[in-house]
């Protein structure tokens, strides 16, 4: 394995660890807190607005920097989505994601970060999430029109 490939793995591991730590520290890995934030009609917990604001505050300068670069430091090019339009599949997927997040209090990143706790409900959530992803990728997506 060459040095560049090894650096990519080390940087990816570091970014993942930092992301997981940030999720745990901010409360985004706590389903009760997330559900409290999403419950606008009930006992609303606005504390996660600061987490979202902080995420935008970090991401925005990075996106602006990325647009000025020809390529990333450790890869030959950026891997950006080719499709940029809003279509029915995007809206339906976003709605399904939101419903799942609102029902469970987890989205994929925090769920995977919380796996380290070994809690049965989290393991079940991640297993069913992975099964749904495989089902969509192997069975549903090939039947959909492009």
Model confidence over 57-94: pLDDT tens digits?
999 999 999 999 999 988 889 998 888 899 888 898 89
Range of the domain at 27: 3-143
Q: Which residue has the tokens 């030959």?
A: 76
First to last CA, the chain: 37
Q: What is the count of structural domains for the chain?
A: 1
Q: What is the band of 146 on the pLDDT scale with cuts at 50, 70, 90? A: low
pLDDT digits (tens, 9 = 90+) for 3-61: 888 999 999 999 988 988 888 888 888 888 888 988 888 889 998 899 889 999 999 99
Burial of 129 (0-12, 13-18, 19+ CB in 10 A): middle
At 61 the pLDDT is 96
Helix locations, the chain, DSSP H: 3-26, 31-38, 48-68, 88-104, 108-114, 120-135
| Full-model pTM | 0.72
CA–CA dist 49, 24 (Å, integer): 15
Please give the mean pLDDT across all residues of the chain: 89
pLDDT digits (tens, 9 = 90+) for 88-120: 888 988 998 888 888 888 888 888 888 888 889
Tokens (6 digits) for 63: 């996106």
Q: What is the band of 134 on the pLDDT scale with cuts at 50, 70, 90? A: very high
112: Cβ–Cβ under 8 A, 6 or more apart, which residues? Answer: 20, 126
1 or 64: which carries more pLDDT confidence?
64
At 9 the pLDDT is 93
CA–CA dist 122, 128 (Å, integer): 10
């Amino acid at each position: 394995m060459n040095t560049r490939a090894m650096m990519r793995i080390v940087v990816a591991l570091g970014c993942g660890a930092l992301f997981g730590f940030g999720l745990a520290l901010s409360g985004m890995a706590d389903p009760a807190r997330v559900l409290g934030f999403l419950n606008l009609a009930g006992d609303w917990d606005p504390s996660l607005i600061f987490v979202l604001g902080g995420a935008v505050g970090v991401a925005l300068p990075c996106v602006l920097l990325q647009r000025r670069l020809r390529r990333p430091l450790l890869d030959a090019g950026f891997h950006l989505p080719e499709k940029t339009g809003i279509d029915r599949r995007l809206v339906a997927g976003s709605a399904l994601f939101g419903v799942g997040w609102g029902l469970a209090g987890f989205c994929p990143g925090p769920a995977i970060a919380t796996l380290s706790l070994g809690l049965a409900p989290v393991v079940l959530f991640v297993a069913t999430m992975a099964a749904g992803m495989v089902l969509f990728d192997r069975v549903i997506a090939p039947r959909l029109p492009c």
